[in-house]
């Protein structure tokens, strides 16, 4: 039986990087004789322009019917004035929530070839390999009530609600403990329990779960300290687990340790391991249409999809190795470019990975 992969290119650089991810996926399918069928759909600003809503029901239907989803990026200045409920980002959030993709895995791995491209010194980052486990369908991103209201004084007030149920904390906690057990056995739970009750509960639940995973050493860290430790000594971390908003922020920060946010893929999984795969970077309107975007985060997202949703570990490894060899050849998009390397555009970078897969 064939597996359907739904591609949602999205906005600005989204279509450019997804074109390369698609080529890599087709090549790997050919090399490993995988029966994959590709579908395409609209999400974000592209969907808003075409159908008046950022997540058309047709896209949600296709997403439910597919084995996995590959997403480019959504949003951008074109839709800045759109009301909050119709913003492109809302489409992405509705999709994550509608499919219950609560577990967001963001591996932060430094390719040794890029140690010089990191904003930190090589001796601080070399060998870096962290996994950020971000809760993705709850917290302040989804809490009710939310809005902007007018007070009696006539002044306006904006408000959001930071809320987590025990069951939501527990299920993301289990994903993180299991991941740590399969890695170096160290888990750092990030909260702000000295100020926010919701994260005090978070800490208590993590502590309770720890008893079930004796092979994992659990520590807790306040988010401000975690942000500092990530640039002071990032290699102290193995797996980090945190809520939706802290995870959003810390993953962008961590990305820079690896040279560029253009390098990091992610997986968003439901309880059954079905998932959506996307680079953690945004739609980069400033470089859209110029062939400057780095397609490697999208290509590495294909590898994560092969591993987590399609059960093709060997094919996933082949994609990751091909990326390593392309970097070894000295090919660099602008975001990771250094003296002595060859500057290539989005298409050439994708083509180089495809070429390497031919040599597999």
Residues that bind ligand IPM (CB under 6 A): 75, 89, 92, 248, 280, 282
Q: Which of Mg ion, ligand IPM, none is residue 75 near (CB under 5 to 8 Å by kind)?
A: ligand IPM
Q: Which of Mg ion, ligand IPM, none is residue 89 near (CB under 5 to 8 Å by kind)?
A: ligand IPM
- The number of C-alpha atoms within 13 Å of 327 and in the hemisphere containing its C-beta is 22
What is the sign of the dihedral through the CA atoms of 96, 97, 99 and 104?
Answer: positive
How far apart, in whole angstroms, are the C-alpha atoms of residue 7 and residue 19? Answer: 10
CB-based closest residue to ligand IPM: 89
How far apart, in whole angstroms, are the C-alpha atoms of residue 81 and residue 63? Answer: 28
- Minimum CB separation of residue 31 from ligand IPM in Å reads 30
Catalytic residue (choose from 11, 191, 238, 248): 248
222 catalytic? Reply is: no
Show the tokens assigned to 182.
């399969």
Select 248 or 278, whichever has its Cβ closest to Mg ion: 248
CB-based closest residue to Mg ion: 248
270 catalytic? Reply is: no
How far apart, in whole angstroms, are the C-alpha atoms of residue 157 and residue 278? Answer: 34
Alpha helical stretches, state H, the chain: 13-31, 45-51, 57-65, 88-98, 122-125, 166-181, 197-210, 223-232, 244-257, 296-308, 313-328, 346-358
**Closest residue by Cα to residue 25 from 40, 13, 10, 41:** 40
H helix and E strand count, the chain: 12, 14
Q: Which of Mg ion, ligand IPM, none is residue 91 near (CB under 5 to 8 Å by kind)?
A: none
141 catalytic? Reply is: yes
Select 172 or 326, whichever has its Cβ closest to Mg ion: 172
Select 89 or 356, whichever has its Cβ closest to ligand IPM: 89
Helix (H) or strand (E) holding 147: strand 147-150
How far apart, in whole angstroms, are the C-alpha atoms of residue 110 and residue 113? Answer: 8
Q: Tokens 């577990």, residue? A: 103
- Minimum CB separation of residue 283 from ligand IPM in Å reads 8
- Minimum CB separation of residue 307 from ligand IPM in Å reads 19
Q: What is the full DSSP assignment across 294-307? A: --HHHHHHHHHHHH
213 catalytic? Reply is: no
Select 104 or 312, whichever has its Cβ closest to Mg ion: 104
- Minimum CB separation of residue 247 from Mg ion in Å reads 9
Catalytic residue (choose from 49, 129, 252, 345): 252
Select 141 or 213, whichever has its Cβ closest to ligand IPM: 141
90 catalytic? Reply is: no
Catalytic residue (choose from 12, 111, 141, 277): 141
Select 261 or 326, whichever has its Cβ closest to ligand IPM: 261
Which residues, other chains included, contact 298 with Cβ-Cβ below 8 Å and sequence gap of 6+?
A: 17, 18, 20, 21, 70, 72, 265, 278, 279
Q: Which of ligand IPM, Mg ion, none is residue 168 near (CB under 5 to 8 Å by kind)?
A: none
- Binding residues for Mg ion, rule: CB under 5 A, are 248
Catalytic residue (choose from 27, 62, 90, 192): 192
Please give the positions annotated as active site.
Answer: 141, 192, 224, 248, 252
């Amino acid at each position: 039986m064939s597996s359907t992969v739904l591609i949602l290119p999205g906005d600005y650089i989204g279509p450019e990087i997804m074109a390369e991810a698609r080529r890599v996926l087709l090549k790997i399918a050919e090399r490993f004789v995988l029966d994959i069928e590709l579908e395409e759909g609209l999400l974000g600003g592209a969907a808003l322009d075409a159908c008046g809503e950022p997540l058309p029901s047709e896209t949600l239907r296709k997403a439910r019917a597919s084995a996995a989803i590959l997403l480019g990026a959504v949003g951008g200045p074109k839709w800045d004035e759109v009301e909050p409920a119709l913003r492109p980002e809302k489409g992405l959030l509705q999709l994550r929530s509608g499919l219950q993709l609560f577990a967001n895995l963001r591996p932060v791995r430094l390719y040794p070839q890029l140690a010089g491209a990191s904003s930190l010194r090589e001796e601080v980052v070399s060998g870096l390999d962290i996994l950020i486990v971000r809760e993705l369908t709850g917290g302040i991103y989804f809490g009710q009530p939310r809005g902007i209201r007018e007070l009696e004084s006539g002044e306006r007030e904006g408000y959001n609600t930071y809320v987590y149920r025990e069951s939501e904390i527990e299920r993301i906690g289990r994903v993180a403990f299991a991941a740590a057990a399969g890695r170096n056995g160290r888990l750092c739970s990030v909260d702000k329990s000295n100020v926010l009750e919701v994260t005090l509960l978070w800490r208590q639940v993590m502590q309770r779960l720890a008893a079930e995973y004796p092979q994992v050493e659990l520590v807790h860290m306040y988010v401000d300290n975690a942000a500092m430790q990530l640039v002071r000594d990032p290699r102290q971390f193995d797996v980090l687990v945190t809520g939706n908003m802290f995870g959003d922020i810390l993953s962008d920060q961590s990305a820079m340790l690896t040279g560029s946010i253009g390098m990091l893929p992610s997986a968003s999984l439901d309880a059954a391991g079905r998932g959506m795969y996307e680079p953690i970077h945004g739609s980069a309107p400033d470089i859209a249409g110029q062939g400057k975007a780095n397609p490697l985060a999208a290509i590495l997202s294909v590898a994560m999809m092969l591993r987590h949703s399609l059960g093709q570990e060997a094919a996933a490894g082949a994609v990751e190795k091909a990326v390593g060899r392309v970097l070894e050849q000295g090919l660099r998009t602008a975001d990771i470019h250094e003296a002595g390397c060859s500057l290539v555009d989005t298409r050439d970078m994708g083509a180089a990975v495809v070429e390497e897969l031919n040599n597999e």
